[in-house]
Amino acid sequence: MKRKKLVIGFVVAVLSLLLVGPMNATAADKVIKWRMQVLWDAGTLPFKIEKKFVDRVKELTGGRLQIKIFAPGSLVPTNQMLDAVQAGMFEMMKQYEGYYIGKMPEAAFTSALPSGFTDAWQLETWFWERGGIQLVRDSYKKLGLYYLAPSIYGQEPIHSKFPIHSIADMKGKKGRFVGLAGPVLSKLGAAVTPMPTAEVYPALEKGVIDFADRGGLAANYDAGLYEVAKYIILPGFHQPVTATCYVANMAAWKKLPKDIQAILECAAREASADLFQLHMVKGMEALEKFKAKGCEVIYLPKDEVKKIRKVAMGVWEEYANKSPKARQVLDSQKEWMRMLGLID
């Protein structure tokens, strides 16, 4: 009887191990599905980068994390993505922080600084080597969000239905700008209205606006802006360097295995490198395509750029005074700019 009980006990133990093993394996191999709404329309260069990003994450995680991309406005309006991810409506977004500088004044500096940094690597090094990433992550943590990484690229042009050679030419004209570019252009005399990136083309086409910032040259060519605005204004003083960002819901982030978290961060930085390189190469190619479509490229005189910079730097200080964190971020960036010789 004792032997029988021992045998039965052994069989039960073996069966238990066999049952538990597959269950654990199934749990470990469970597919995690996220949704991510992005900033740029399908078919543009930046959207293709996001497609590559999610494919890369799927590849590196062995299919354990699969992210579905949603085009601008598919889930919520672009300027409501922060609130939506914060509320857990979807897990992740690719956003331009300039949309919510009213809620986070420091975002005025971490998205794009008008007449500030002159090259993408300068802002890149501020984020990763000068403490910028921690400053940003601290801000998002308070909102229940996790800031993965910025995607940093060079200047964005202004596309206009009329020629612009000076500040005077912009006065009274209707322009689309978001982020700190908005108050700067307002100070320069333009009538500024913010609107999502995807709405720029129809707004120019219908005459709702006269000129606009939208994105990099390649993305703007993909969107067909040569059909509705025949003038390209350079340099892009309003956004000489731009950072968009990957941001996740904190609760969803914490549920991820550590290796998947690391993969997401690495893939995000890889996407930034891809965008930076393609923005430069495809942008130069797009500039020639714009010219072939009959667009005129106008380079603002240096003395006009200097006047604009003086106005922009005044706006920097106005927004830095809106919160202690905004002041901390701008002071940190100004210290780096001084070291780089960009400001006195």
Question: What pLDDT score does 41 carry?
Answer: 87
Walk me through the domains of the chain, giving residue ranges and CATH numbers. 31-153+241-282 (3.40.190.170), 158-239+292-340 (3.40.190.170)
- How many beta carbons lie within 10 A of that of residue 74, not counting itself? 12
Q: How far is the C-alpha of 113 from the C-alpha of 107, rounded, in Å?
A: 10
Q: Interhelix angle for 258-292 vs 120-129, to 10°? A: 170
**Phi, psi angle pair for 88, to nearest 5°:** 80, 20
How many CA atoms lie within 13 Å of 50's alpha carbon, on the beta-carbon side? 27
pLDDT tens sequence for the chain (344 residues): 333 333 334 333 332 333 333 333 344 568 999 999 999 888 899 999 999 999 999 999 999 999 999 999 999 999 999 999 999 999 999 999 999 999 999 999 999 999 999 999 999 999 999 999 999 999 999 999 999 999 999 999 999 999 999 999 999 999 999 999 999 999 999 999 999 888 999 999 999 999 999 999 999 999 999 999 999 999 999 999 999 999 999 999 999 999 999 999 999 999 999 999 999 999 999 999 999 999 999 999 999 999 999 999 999 999 999 999 999 999 999 999 999 999 99
Question: What pLDDT score does 29 carry?
Answer: 63
- Each residue of 235-247: b (16+ CB within 10 Å) or e? bbbbbbbbbbbbb
Side by side, which strands form the sheet with 174-176? Answer: 191-193, 174-176, 211-213, 158-160, 231-234, 296-299
pTM: 0.87
How big is the CA angle at 209 (ends 203 and 214), to the nearest 5 degrees? 70
Residue spans of alpha helices (H) in 64-212: 81-86, 107-111, 120-129, 132-141, 167-170, 181-187, 200-206
Q: How far is the C-alpha of 108 from the C-alpha of 327, rounded, in Å?
A: 11
Residue 107 in tokens: 């975002």
Q: Which of 252, 199, 222 is nearest to 33 (CA)?
A: 252
